[in-house]
Structure 1
């Protein structure tokens, strides 16, 4: 072959290689995750995505361009339930080495588009989150109206417990040795807890997520606030790099994270009314607004942390009856789901899904029921002793004497402090001649 022939062949190979490289990012699949107020569409890709997007009106559409990618044979259909996207289709690409997707939408949405690096069972991903604000508002209103109706039927309001099943949808959480997803375990336990709470007169549950869909971590406490929750319990399953660690644990917010969150709330004055309610209207026009707001936030956070810790203590006591404990006392951490100053909250690690034995237990319906029962008993026990003033539990507490069964490490002074009564009053109502208590001894608790 002549020198010119070799040169032409070389140029052809280089050109073909460049064209192959330009279209090297294979789309392996496209998955759709609907939720009550949003839809998530995930593109599974061979390589890191190079993308851009923009919105169009009349009708409302989202256009996503993927560079150096090829089309796949079949695009997914969009589930009818919670429909925000009516159709996903191709359109004319902006150049020869890209592919253009068009999301046909039911109305105004807020798009959030971002790439995710490989993790767990997934390779590179392009995530398209579409949030429908009108549906979010409607769902919150329906939940509120249902709550009001039930409260009116009971004459006194129900204590509202928000249940947060960790992870969901595109976020599987930790994965057990046999392939069990944390997101599935947490939702199963959450639904059992939901049933127990809703069967208890004077209590009502509010699920943060009811199905296998993604809920942004930063919105979970906001959803609990929308549902007017008195308390939030977040359910998870732990994991480690080796299979040995095991046992359940209960977590509360750390003081460092609490102070950080108060600082954020103080800087965001638009959130004052959301958190402080009517008090925000009183302080907004004063020269000392920041100091008054900080005092109120400090008081609110202090109450939330104290309540969370007390419930966590109750829960550790109940969990050790049915599960091995990884930590025998409540632990403090900076978990984002615990950060709300106005909603007492705890996070329960139900066990190590990375431990083969505990993975099998966590998949068991019987064990899930035991865990849910322990959570329910501890939350109910706390609110029977410390009910909100306007709740049915408060009305029942005033009608019937309060009882407490003595546990290891408890003393008269500790119980007097917990229930807001004096040691002398405790001794008098229980006819005690000394300060000595016995494990399992049942005490009557006078009204404070």
Structure 2
């Protein structure tokens, strides 16, 4: 029986004599190092704030922290004085986050100032000193479009402004325009826009007598975190459509029998269903959503008017556009936990054939006038499933004023003269719609 060789843990002679043993030890040593690295937890890299933005508005103030990973956050309110305290885990204070202090403006409706500090290791504390009691909504958004992860604070007032009271106050400032008195729709002659191939000459309609004030909801698309389409020259859809809507509002309020409500009057985000809610709260007679189109090719051009469809889109392009506009909530940032899904589903289901028929009449009247100042992309009113047009009881249209993706039309959209012409054309179309379709009496609070 052969004698067993004892196992040697260290042997200089054996090491020198056996290259194989040396390689084996080297391999085993590397394996042990690899195993140790697997079993030893790697240090957690702190999240990094890459941008801070503040969007103050009368409706609410939004504060957005954009970061490179999802954040864990807790918050609570403190009274006397009013404060919102927010603790963010997993981050260190960096220069970008410190910029938040300077972004709070003196005219912010709800925030006096914000204090930012390292509360403890890996925890940053934000303290918002408030001007009044607020209901905060704090939520996160997944990466979308050009944004990384976003942490959002929406500060809503406990006592929000009453939109109907605001409209009544504005109406009462008009001299000699008490509600309920008959007023002629056509109060002064207007220059007729130049005829185009799509325009039709029609006999003048007799001016109807209106027995109440007409309320028109103007809806400038996008806003806040959602810039909308961006032209090659850097123009943003949210800016040009707000400018057009403000001009149109001023012209509407020059009419003794009309007043306007804007779903947004500044650069802030309004969810699609909230735009519809706002119009219904003031019992609007019409809803006019204003946009600037975009396409993958810069050659696309022309203005368009859209209404809702019960049976699907009237064209592939209309369906594509509706899907793009309906994605505004994802980009602008909706708090899914508080989104009123039941109300949204009701609005989706209750749109009536009568509402769509009235919307088509309004759309045709406006399209004809727009054709007098700009080439039309399509000669007819198109239809698709735009979420913002789904108020069941308000004739609603969506106007694409021009293609911001077309350099020539981008220049028009930023030109004050074109904005003025577009506002005039829309108003003329609205007036001609009412000349043929006088508004019915409503049980109004005004």
TM over 0.5: yes
How many Å apart are 1:322 and its aligned residue? 1.2
Aligned CA distance change for structure 1 residues 91 and 119 (closer, same or farther; 3 Å) = same
Tell me the distance in 1 between the aligned counterparts of 2:221 and 2:360. 20
**Any gaps of 5 or more consecutive residues in structure 2?**
1-25, 183-211, 314-340
Aligned CA distance change for structure 1 residues 191 and 57 (closer, same or farther; 3 Å) = same
Partner of 2:225: 170
Tell me the distance in 1 between the aligned counterparts of 2:343 and 2:144. 38
Asked if the contact 1:174/1:239 (under 8 Å) is kept, the reply is yes
How many Å apart are 1:124 and its aligned residue? 3.7
Aligned CA distance change for structure 1 residues 187 and 147 (closer, same or farther; 3 Å) = same
How many Å apart are 1:16 and its aligned residue? 13
* CA deviation map 1:182-218 (0-9, x unaligned): 0000001101111221112211111111111222221
How many Å apart are 1:271 and its aligned residue? 11
Asked if the contact 2:101/2:116 (under 8 Å) is kept, the reply is no
The one of 398, 402, 410 equivalent to 1:347 is 398
How many Å apart are 1:29 and its aligned residue? 3.1
Aligned CA distance change for structure 1 residues 176 and 186 (closer, same or farther; 3 Å) = same
Partner of 1:31: 53
Partner of 2:331: none
**Any gaps of 5 or more consecutive residues in structure 1?**
259-266, 276-293, 392-448
Partner of 2:165: 141
Asked if the contact 2:232/2:407 (under 8 Å) is kept, the reply is yes
Tell me the distance in 1 between the aligned counterparts of 2:234 and 2:415. 15
The one of 69, 73, 80 equivalent to 1:48 is 69
Aligned CA distance change for structure 1 residues 354 and 384 (closer, same or farther; 3 Å) = same
The one of 280, 283, 288 equivalent to 1:233 is 288
Aligned CA distance change for structure 1 residues 99 and 231 (closer, same or farther; 3 Å) = same
Tell me the distance in 2 between the aligned counterparts of 1:304 and 1:140. 23
Tell me the distance in 2 between the aligned counterparts of 1:240 and 1:40. 30
RMSD, aligned CA: 3.6
Q: In the alignment, does 2:238 pair up with 1:183?
A: yes
Q: In the alignment, does 2:427 pair up with 1:376?
A: yes
Give the length in aligned residue pairs.
Answer: 348
Q: Which has the higher helix share?
A: 1
Q: In the alignment, does 2:330 pair up with 1:308?
A: no
Q: Secondary structure at the match of 1:111?
A: strand
Q: In the alignment, does 2:112 pair up with 1:86?
A: yes
Q: In the alignment, does 2:411 pair up with 1:387?
A: no
Q: Secondary structure at the match of 2:410?
A: helix
Tell me the distance in 2 between the aligned counterparts of 1:271 and 1:373. 35
TM-score normalised per structure 2: 0.69
Aligned CA distance change for structure 1 residues 116 and 39 (closer, same or farther; 3 Å) = farther
TM-score normalised per structure 1: 0.69
Tell me the distance in 1 between the aligned counterparts of 2:93 and 2:269. 26
Tell me the distance in 2 between the aligned counterparts of 1:15 and 1:331. 63
Tell me the distance in 2 between the aligned counterparts of 1:63 and 1:115. 20
How many Å apart are 1:91 and its aligned residue? 5.4
Tell me the distance in 2 between the aligned counterparts of 1:270 and 1:16. 50
How many Å apart are 1:348 and its aligned residue? 0.4
Q: In the alignment, does 2:359 pair up with 1:333?
A: no
How many Å apart are 1:54 and its aligned residue? 3.0
* CA deviation map 1:320-361 (0-9, x unaligned): 111122221111111111010011110001111111111111
How many Å apart are 1:363 and its aligned residue? 0.9
Comparing both chains, which one has the higher relative contact order based on Cα–Cα distances under 8 Å and sequence gaps of 6 or more? 2
The one of 109, 123, 141 equivalent to 1:98 is 123
* CA deviation map 1:232-284 (0-9, x unaligned): 100001112222222111110111589xxxxxxxx969999xx9xxxxxxxxx
Q: In the alignment, does 2:261 pair up with 1:206?
A: yes
Asked if the contact 1:40/1:127 (under 8 Å) is kept, the reply is yes
Tell me the distance in 2 between the aligned counterparts of 1:149 and 1:271. 38
Q: In the alignment, does 2:93 pair up with 1:71?
A: yes
Tell me the distance in 1 between the aligned counterparts of 2:179 and 2:144. 51
Tell me the distance in 1 between the aligned counterparts of 2:108 and 2:435. 38
Tell me the distance in 2 between the aligned counterparts of 1:124 and 1:227. 36
